[in-house]
Structures are given as structure tokens and as C-alpha cells.
Structure 1
Amino acid sequence: NARYAKQVIGKRACLIGNLSPVATLLAKSPENVKQEAKMCIENGVDILAPGCGIAPHTPLMNIRAFVEARDEYYLEKGVL
């Protein structure tokens, strides 16, 4: 649980991750990828990344959606 982990570590460390490379990036639609990626950031993740390596045959559209989610999130928050 990223939200709990962020509460525990505060600003002492950065949280990295944690989008599932198989359940989300490989298997879901680009819109679902965006939604889950934004939720990771909202829950306290500092550096958005897959939970581990990207699975073979992951749709390029999903990888693009992953990166776009980060950009959209920070634009909406006025950070970029």
C-alpha cells in the first residue's frame, strides 16, 4: 500500500513504482493504464515506474499511456 508506505517514510526516502507490468501494462487498456498510473502518484509514489521489468508483447500504446499519465497528472496539478 503506497499511501501507508508514504506515511511511514515521509520525506526520508522516495517511493518508486509500482504499476503491475503484467496485470496492468500488458493486459489492460491504455485508459486503464492511465487511471492506475495516476492513482499510484496520488497515493504517494514519487517516481512512477513498473513494479519490475516490462513484459514481452506489452502494447506500445500502453507504455505511451503510462508516460502520458505522469505528464497529465502533473499538468493538472500545475507542477509542470
Structure 2
Amino acid sequence: MNMLRIFVVVAALAPVSAFACTAEDINAKATELSTSLQTLAARDQQKAMEVTQRMQAIQAKQQAPGSMTEACKMYDELLAEVKGK
């Protein structure tokens, strides 16, 4: 059930515009984060849920004009955290 929620959140992250960060960048980062979250959920389900909640904040920020660069940065931070870097 929790994995389903993660996939739904990732799928809902559709960019509306792009400046320094393209729609393809956002989609690639969302896909990579989804894969990494699957691995994390197998080890630490609580942490995976925390990251998923933070992904929802990215989704909200993406709706604002000119926010793609910030969304890319947030994805990068979450990816680094999930991968333990």
C-alpha cells in the first residue's frame, strides 16, 4: 500500500514549465527517485514515507511559475539523501 502511494505521488509530479531545468530533467529525477525509494522502503519504510511527504512539497512548488530550477534542486537533495550521499 505504501509503495502504491509513492508511485502515485511520483506520477503526479508533472512539470508545467521549464527554465534552467527542463521537463525531461524533472521526469528523469522523479523516475530515479521512485526507483531509489523502492530500495529505501525495503530497508526503512518510515524514512521512505518521510521522503514521499517531502516530494509532495516539490509538487506544490512546481505549480508556481518559474519554479522548475528549485524543483530540480529539491529532487537532487532528496536523491542524495535516499542514496546516502
Higher normalized strand content (fraction of residues)? 1
Higher relative contact order (CA 8 A, sep 6+): 2
TM-score by length of 2: 0.31
With normalisation by structure 1, the TM-score equals 0.32
